[in-house]
A and B are shown apart, each in its own frame.
Chain A
Amino acid sequence: MWARWAWRTLTSMRTALLLLFMLALASVPGSIFPQRQTNAAAVNMYLADDPAKARILDRLGMFDVFGSPWFAAIYLLLFISLAGCVLPRTRQHWRAIRSRPPAAPKHLDRLPDHRELVSPSPPEQALAAGAEHLRAARWRVITTSGTLSAETGYSREIGNLVFHLALLVLLAAVALGSLGGFRGNVVIREGTAFAASSAQFDSISPGRLFSTTELPPFSFTLDRFTADFQRGGQQAGAPRAFRADVSLIASPGQSPQQRTIEVNEPLEVDGVKVFLVGHGYAPTVTIRDGAGDVVFRDSVVCLPQDAGFTSTCVVKAPDAFPQLGLTGFFLPTATVDPSRGPYSRFPAPDDPALFLAAWEGDLGLDTGRPQSVYKLDTAAMRRVGIKALLPGQRWTLPDGSVISFDGYVRFAAFAVARDPGKELALAAVLVAMAGLGLSLSVRRRRLWMRASPATGGGSRIVLAGIARSEHASAASDLDRLAAALHSSRPSPTPAAPPLHGKAAP
């Protein structure tokens, strides 16, 4: 009894409406607060800036709105409500489609929308003509003696039901994608290679049912990255073209193929797509100790901070003694602003420079605590100097170590993704749109016609119709049917005009 009430309430239109409001409202914080899924760094910044407030927000799920239990509760209730409403209606409509249009009411002229006319044809013939006209217009028609019932527009409810059922399929497709898919990010410098295994990703978020052994065994080398930027004008510095030239080895043992990856043109290998999502510079730095031995040589990925690609760099040389760390900026087009300090005013490497601070001491790599490669923990270090370097320049530290800025390569950031649910999602959405189109464009109407013998031959005809959907009327159908009955008269004598036509107010 109680359960029945609860079910009836949940599947009512009013509840569905309320849940729709809640769904819209619940999405709003997801666009205001940074979300872990899309911008984990911004969330961490938020946590660091105002820990007390952020912790409360975090507990409320504000940094992961779309994965939070309360958001899930709303959409799951909505989908249960939807299923509880749509499934019984499907059964009901199935019956309606298979049943015959209802018999004509006794007094057709009492319906608001009706027409009365006379026809020179005898009743049976007039009814047959009416039925023929309606069948040609794809109405479902049944005739009994003296009356005709017709109905059309069943596809409105079919479209409506298909739309809602397709939304259930879409939900399943989304679930399939998030459980069986994966997404990984990787940064690759020019001249280096990437093999698709979990160890080589910088970050990876696999679905619960996804195993990284399912990854196709491809690898590729970034041969060259090209970027063009707008020069001059209001939009100077805006990117105009990005292009990554790669050598792809689709599976081990195969010979490399030359391929390109661009922003809207991902690389596809066995159902896995590789997207170009970012780029930047990696200056090449060499550090020699006092004896002249190389203790560090690498191209270091520097993270772009602004539109001019002022990029922050961190170098860690654990093999130096004492350990050496560098922090600083790589500036593709270096400028020194009196108030702002050094920055890059253009994203292309027109005038590259490396601004560095050198630190000596303990890098803290042996503590066992995980460390970001993009951050230098200077707690146990001492700054020994700062310096601006142009490509090819060297810098000798007080202890005799030499730091040289040898040049730079570019790096590209790629996202590697697989979503096994996306084809199903697309199919569901296409079906849903077709259903939506039907349900909003088709009108469901019923017509009745009664023909009785008129005094002096021919027949008296009454037509009536109702529309069963909002803001629709059967008036134009009645007009067409009346016109068809006139034009299909058997004798050449002109038919009498309608006695009296009355449209709904």
Chain B
Amino acid sequence: MTDTALASLSNGLVYAAMLTYAIAMVVFAASLAARAPGRRPLAEPALGTSRRQGGVGVAVRDAPVPARSPVVQPAPGRRGGNIAMSLTWLATLLVGAGLVARGLSVGRVPWGNMYEFSVASAFAISAAFLVLSLRRDLRWLGLLVVVPVLLTLGLAVTVLYTEAGQLVPALNSYWLIIHVAAAIICAGTFCVGTALTVAYLVADTSERRVSRGSRFWGSGLARRLPPAQRLDAMAYRIHTFAFPLWTFAVVAGAIWAENAWGRYWGWDPKETWAFITWVGYAAYLHARATAGWKGRKAAVIALVAFAAFIINYFGVNIFLTGLHSYGGLPS
């Protein structure tokens, strides 16, 4: 039933992808660092003088921060960013090919255990990032995306690795295709949403500190980010896509559960944490419309909700026992 040649080809492709991502990560990091402080003297002297003259930060803060303007970018970081983006495309194609090979080797969808789910999620994170990058320049986000992708793949090939094989009967259902595929796309979009949220918090902190005269926060990574307000809007938009999809994933799981176990909701640990994740992201969306909770506080809620998603993804399978414990992990 299992084609071993295809299965080992799949493993080789995943390793090749990891190597490519690792190089992309280094190049992304280097291109962020390439823009050393002091290379953009436009804003800083003004800031410095305003502080030295005892000027309060308010006036500066309200002024546009020219260091962030995406229009005037110097060349060195740019070329590195382009190389890293190309490497990310290549690595994503390699992971995608690895998934296809795995699927062909076992004659089913390639997300039947934790290993396959993780590889598919890494593909989804990367693909979500690349799809977004088609419409706007996202080279500054690359590092924040490639790092979780590499971590996911690293966990997959070490802790979670499972040989290519057939499904346990519990997973033998077309709902595996629907429910788990939705969960995988959610993993991708939530992760990119989290990267954007982290970028927003960094940019926001940087803007506040720079307005108070900090030189450190006006340098390095923080300076290459778009304005905080734009990052906030981008993070919000991707979450408004991911949240309904997560709702769908949970509902599809409930329909499957009704068909497999006779109840659509039973507070199994996986269901409980899916619920906590859902409530967390619902709180994020509500916080954005609540006075006193907009901005940073809402962003922190999104991060907490993502933590619940990660607990649901790894923690429940590894540390808690329940009906969803068919991840293929040795107990």
**Docked CA distance A229–B283 (Å):** 45
List of B residues within 8 angstroms of A433 by Cβ: 244, 247-248, 251
Picked from B172, B175, B237, B273, the residue with its CB within 8 Å of the CB of A471 is B237
Query: Which one of A234-242, A363-371, A377-385 is at the B interface?
Result: A234-242
Query: Which one of B86-94, B132-140, B206-214, B284-292 is at the A interface?
Result: B284-292
B282 at the interface (CB under 8 A from A): yes
- Give me 11 other A-B pairs in contact (C-beta within 8 A), A233-B163, A235-B165 excluded: A17-B287, A20-B283, A30-B267, A31-B272, A31-B320, A35-B267, A234-B162, A416-B262, A429-B254, A432-B247, A470-B288
Q: What are 28 of the A-B contact pairs (CB < 8 Å)?
A: A13-B290, A17-B283, A17-B287, A24-B275, A24-B283, A27-B272, A27-B276, A28-B272, A31-B316, A38-B268, A65-B267, A230-B165, A233-B163, A233-B165, A235-B162, A235-B163, A240-B169, A264-B169, A264-B175, A275-B262, A419-B263, A425-B264, A432-B247, A436-B244, A441-B240, A470-B236, A470-B288, A470-B289
Indicate if the CB atoms of B328 and A235 lie closer than 8 Å: yes
B258 at the interface (CB under 8 A from A): yes
Known: A183-B262, A437-B244. A21 touches B292 (CB 8 A): no
Interface size of B by CB at 8 A reads 58
Closest-CB distance, A241 to chain B (whole angstroms): 6
Chain A, 440-495, CB within 8 A of any chain B CB: 440-441, 470-471
Chain A, 296-315, CB within 8 A of any chain B CB: 307
Indicate if the CB atoms of B169 and A263 lie closer than 8 Å: yes
List of A residues within 8 angstroms of B264 by Cβ: 419, 422, 425-426
Chain A, 258-288, CB within 8 A of any chain B CB: 262-264, 266, 273, 275, 277
Please, which residue of chain B has its CB at the minimum distance from the CB of A65?
B267
List of B residues within 8 angstroms of A46 by Cβ: none
Most buried by B among A17, A266, A277: A17
B151 at the interface (CB under 8 A from A): no
Indicate if the CB atoms of B169 and A429 lie closer than 8 Å: no
Picked from A239, A422, A436, the residue with its CB within 8 Å of the CB of B169 is A239
Chain A, 203-262, CB within 8 A of any chain B CB: 230, 233-235, 238-242, 262
**Docked CA distance A227–B258 (Å):** 23
Please, which residue of chain B has its CB at the minimum distance from the CB of A436?
B244
Indicate if the CB atoms of A20 and B240 lie closer than 8 Å: no
Contact with B along A37-49 (1 / 0, CB 8 A): 1100000000000
Contact with A along B204-242 (1 / 0, CB 8 A): 000000000000000000000000000001001100110
Contact with A along B57-98 (1 / 0, CB 8 A): 000000000000000000000000000000000000000000
Indicate if the CB atoms of B165 and A238 lie closer than 8 Å: yes
List of B residues within 8 angstroms of A240 by Cβ: 166-169
Closest-CB distance, B327 to chain A (whole angstroms): 12
List of A residues within 8 angstroms of B283 by Cβ: 17, 20-21, 24
List of A residues within 8 angstroms of B290 by Cβ: 13-14, 17
Indicate if the CB atoms of A264 and B173 lie closer than 8 Å: yes
Indicate if the CB atoms of B233 and A436 lie closer than 8 Å: no
- Majority DSSP secondary structure for residues of B touching A: helix
A201 at the interface (CB under 8 A from B): no
Indicate if the CB atoms of B258 and A422 lie closer than 8 Å: yes
**Docked CA distance A239–B286 (Å):** 44
Please, which residue of chain B has its CB at the minimum distance from the CB of A42?
B321
List of B residues within 8 angstroms of A35 by Cβ: 267
Indicate if the CB atoms of A415 and B166 lie closer than 8 Å: no
Indicate if the CB atoms of A31 and B261 lie closer than 8 Å: no
Please, which residue of chain A has its CB at the minimum distance from the CB of B248?
A433
Contact with A along B248-266 (1 / 0, CB 8 A): 1001001110111111111
Indicate if the CB atoms of A183 and B263 lie closer than 8 Å: yes
Chain B, 157-200, CB within 8 A of any chain A CB: 162-163, 165-170, 172-173, 175
Indicate if the CB atoms of B244 and A275 lie closer than 8 Å: no
Closest 8 CB pairs between A and B?
A417-B262, A264-B173, A31-B269, A263-B169, A31-B272, A440-B240, A20-B283, A234-B163
List of A residues within 8 angstroms of B247 by Cβ: 432-433, 436
Please, which residue of chain B has its CB at the minimum distance from the CB of A234?
B163
Please, which residue of chain A has its CB at the minimum distance from the CB of B304?
A24
Please, which residue of chain B has its CB at the minimum distance from the CB of A14?
B290
Please, which residue of chain A has its CB at the minimum distance from the CB of B305?
A24
Please, which residue of chain A has its CB at the minimum distance from the CB of B236?
A471
Closest-CB distance, B253 to chain A (whole angstroms): 12
B279 at the interface (CB under 8 A from A): yes
Indicate if the CB atoms of B275 and A27 lie closer than 8 Å: yes
Indicate if the CB atoms of A415 and B261 lie closer than 8 Å: yes
Closest-CB distance, B329 to chain A (whole angstroms): 11
Known: A30-B272, A263-B170, A307-B331. A20 touches B244 (CB 8 A): no
Closest-CB distance, A308 to chain B (whole angstroms): 12
Known: A275-B262, A470-B236. A28 touches B163 (CB 8 A): no
B243 at the interface (CB under 8 A from A): yes
Closest-CB distance, A349 to chain B (whole angstroms): 18
**Docked CA distance A37–B261 (Å):** 14
**Docked CA distance A53–B266 (Å):** 26
Most buried by B among A233, A238, A432: A238
Indicate if the CB atoms of B267 and A66 lie closer than 8 Å: yes
Please, which residue of chain B has its CB at the minimum distance from the CB of A441?
B240
List of B residues within 8 angstroms of A419 by Cβ: 258, 263-264
Please, which residue of chain A has its CB at the minimum distance from the CB of B273?
A31
List of A residues within 8 angstroms of B275 by Cβ: 24, 27
List of B residues within 8 angstroms of A241 by Cβ: 169, 172
B142 at the interface (CB under 8 A from A): no
**Docked CA distance A35–B243 (Å):** 28
Indicate if the CB atoms of B292 and A14 lie closer than 8 Å: yes
Most buried by A among B169, B273, B288: B169
